[in-house]
Amino acid sequence: MYEKITNFIKDLYGNQDFTPLSVPVFVGNEKKYLNECINSTFVSSVGKFVDRFEEMVAEYTGAKRAVVCVNGTNALHMALMLAGVERNDEVLTQALTFIATCNAISYIGAHPVFIDVDRETMGLSPVALRKWLEDNAEVKSDVCYNKHTGHRIKACVPMHTFGHPCKIEEIVAVCQEYHIELVEDAAESIGSFYKGRHTGTFGKIGALSFNGNKTVTTGGGGMLLFNDEELGKYAKHLTTQAKVPHRWEFVHDHIGYNYRMPNINAALGCAQMEHLEEYVLNKRETAHRYQEFFANMDDISFFTEPENSRSNYWLNVVILKDKAAQQEFLQYTNDHGVMTRPIWELMNRLPMFEHCQHDSLENTIWLADRVVNIPSSVRMKIL
Ligand SMILES: *Cc1c(COP(=O)(O)O)cnc(C)c1O
C-alpha cells in the first residue's frame, strides 16, 4: 500500500527524485518588482510595495486594515499586546500548533492553557473551550478570572490548522460570553474562508505568516488583520518604533518595536498576491486528486475541508490507523524520496510548556498519533 501511495504522489508532482512538502513558486512579477526596489534604492522599511502589499491583503481578506510585520511570530506577539495581554495573564490556545503561537504568548510573560481541538477541523474546539471555562473561569465586572490560579484569562488564540478553518463563529460566541479577547492565528490560512469570510477577520486581530513554506511567501514576513481601523493605525505606529511623524525630529511616544517588513520582501508579497487565487485553486485541485485516490483505501484516509469552509489546503493531511502505522508510513515515504512529516510535537510535551494547564486533549492526542502531512506545493504542470 505504501508503495502505491508513494508512486501516486511522485506521479502527481512530475516524478522528481525528491518530492518536497511545500515549496514556493515564483511565476509572476517577483523579479520585476525586486528590480524596481533595487533601482529605486528603496529596499528597506519605506517604499511603495509595503503600502501596496498591505492594501492587497486588506482587500483580499476583507479586513479594514492590514499591517505588515517582519514575520508571523512577531505579528502574533504584537496582536496579543494589542489585545491587552499582560504578564501572568492566561491565554487559551491549542497544544496542536506550531511553536510560534506559544512563543508569542511567552514573550509577554503570559501563560498558555491548552484546550482540545475538534477532529473534523484540527482546530480549537468551541465545546472543549466552553467546558474548560465552565469548570475553571468566573467573570467579575466583565473580567474573566481563573478560579483556581487567580490569574486573569485575557485572550484566546485558535489556529486554523494546515489552512482548515476551525469553528470560528462558535468560538467568537464563547469568547464574547466570557469577555475574552479573540486573536486568530491565521498564519497557515491565507486563502481560507469560513462561510465566505476570510480567516483572521473574525476576532479582534488576526495574524498571517509569509514564511517560505506558506501559501504566499515574502521570504519571511507576517501581517496583522484588523476590523477596527483605529487599532490598525495604532499597530502601524507601534510596529514602526512608535515614532511621531515629523520631517526631521526623532520623537517617540511609546516603547515601540522594529517589526517593519522591508520593501523588498513586500515586493515579493505583491507579486505573490497577484497569483494567490490561482495557487489556492491549484492546491484545491491537488487535494481533490488525493481525495479520490485515498477514497477506496482501507486504514488510511484523506482529510477534507470542514463544513462551511473553503480551505486553502496549505498542507494536505492523511490520517493513519494508529501510531505504529504513522511511523511506518513516515519511514517508507521519506526513504523513497517523498517528503512527509508528522504533526508538531504537542506543546504540552515540550519542556517550556509541560507545566501548563490543559484539558483532556483527547482529540489532540488522537490526531498527533495519526496525522501525516504529504506533499502540497502548487503543481506547476497545471498552472
Ligand atoms: C508559520 C506559523 C506561524 C508564524 O511563523 P513565522 O515563521 O514567524 O512567520 C505562526 N503560527 C503558526 C501556526 C504557523 O504555522
Residue range 11-65, pLDDT digits in tens: 999 999 999 999 999 999 999 999 999 999 999 988 999 999 999 999 999 999 9
Distance CA 23, CA 21 (A): 7
318 shares its domain with 235: no
Distance CA 207, CA 69 (A): 9
pLDDT at position 380 is 81
pLDDT at position 134 is 98
Give the bridge partners for 117, in sequence order. 124
Percent of the chain at pLDDT > 70 equals 99
Per DSSP, the three-state class of 276 is helix
227 shares its domain with 103: yes
Which structural domain range is residue 160 located in?
Answer: 30-273
Last residue within a domain, chosen from 273, 294, 320? 273
226 shares its domain with 292: no
Q: What are phi and psi of 321, to 5 degrees?
A: -70, -40
209 lines ligand 1 (CB under 6 A): yes
Q: Which of 80, 96, 98 to mutate to test the pocket of ligand 1 (most atoms within 8 A of CB)?
A: 98
188 lines ligand 1 (CB under 6 A): yes
Q: Using the mean position of ligand 1's atoms as its centre, give its distance from the Cα of residue 158 in Å.
A: 13
215 shares its domain with 357: no
Residue range 205-217, pLDDT digits in tens: 999 999 999 999 9
Average pLDDT value over all residues in the chain: 97
pLDDT at residue 383 tops 90: no
Query: Which residues have a Cβ under 8 Å from the Cβ of 59 and sit 6 or more positions away?
Result: none
Give DSSP secondary structure letters for 15-35: --SSB-S------SSHHHHHH
Give DSSP secondary structure letters for 125-177: -HHHHHHHHHHHEEEETTEEEETTT--BEEEEE-B-GGG----HHHHHHHHHH
pLDDT at position 365 is 98
Q: Which of 21, 68, 70, 73 to mutate to test the pocket of ligand 1 (most atoms within 8 A of CB)?
A: 73
Per DSSP, the three-state class of 261 is coil
Query: Confidence class of residue 382 from pLDDT cuts 50, 70 and 90?
Result: low
pLDDT at position 45 is 85
Strands 316-320 and 137-140: unpaired
Residue 164: other Cβ atoms inside 10 A: 26
Terminal Cα distance for the chain, rounded? 30
Distance CA 280, CA 28 (A): 15
Residue range 283-312, pLDDT digits in tens: 999 999 999 999 989 999 999 999 999 999
- What CATH number does the domain containing 364 carry? 3.90.1150.10
Per DSSP, the three-state class of 300 is strand
211 lines ligand 1 (CB under 6 A): yes
- Closest ligand 1 atom, CA of 210? 9
Q: Using the mean position of ligand 1's atoms as its centre, give its distance from the Cα of residue 344 in Å.
A: 12
Q: Using the mean position of ligand 1's atoms as its centre, give its distance from the Cα of residue 73 in Å.
A: 6
Task: Give the total residue count for the chain.
Answer: 383
156 shares its domain with 184: yes
Q: Using the mean position of ligand 1's atoms as its centre, give its distance from the Cα of residue 111 in Å.
A: 19
Q: Using the mean position of ligand 1's atoms as its centre, give its distance from the Cα of residue 214 in Å.
A: 9
CA 216, chain centre distance (Å): 12
185 lines ligand 1 (CB under 6 A): yes
- What CATH number does the domain containing 49 carry? 3.40.640.10
Q: Using the mean position of ligand 1's atoms as its centre, give its distance from the Cα of residue 201 in Å.
A: 17
Last residue within a domain, chosen from 240, 273, 306? 273
Contact call for residues 144 and 153 (beta carbons, < 8 A) = yes
73 lines ligand 1 (CB under 6 A): yes
Percent of the chain at pLDDT > 90 equals 97
313 shares its domain with 374: yes
Distance CA 163, CA 214 (A): 10
98 lines ligand 1 (CB under 6 A): yes
Least Cα distance to 153 among 91, 87, 220 occurs for 91
Residue range 338-352, pLDDT digits in tens: 999 999 999 999 999
Q: What is the mean pLDDT of residues 252-257?
A: 96
Q: Calculate helix-pair angle for 30-40, 263-273, nearest 10 degrees.
A: 150
Q: What is the mean pLDDT of residues 211-235?
A: 97
56 shares its domain with 132: yes
In the chain, the amino acid numbered 285 is E
127 shares its domain with 98: yes
185 shares its domain with 315: no
233 shares its domain with 167: yes
Domain count, the chain: 2
Q: Using the mean position of ligand 1's atoms as its centre, give its distance from the Cα of residue 100 in Å.
A: 6
Distance CA 248, CA 300 (A): 63
Distance CA 161, CA 22 (A): 15
pLDDT at position 356 is 98
Contact call for residues 329 and 340 (beta carbons, < 8 A) = yes
364 lines ligand 1 (CB under 6 A): no
Distance CA 140, CA 122 (A): 32
281 shares its domain with 362: yes
266 lines ligand 1 (CB under 6 A): no
185 shares its domain with 121: yes
Contact call for residues 293 and 167 (beta carbons, < 8 A) = no
Last residue within a domain, chosen from 273, 304, 330? 273
H-assigned helices in the chain: 2-12, 30-40, 48-61, 72-82, 99-107, 126-136, 168-177, 229-239, 263-273, 276-295, 323-335, 362-368
Question: Structure pTM?
Answer: 0.97
71 lines ligand 1 (CB under 6 A): yes
Distance CA 29, CA 132 (A): 48
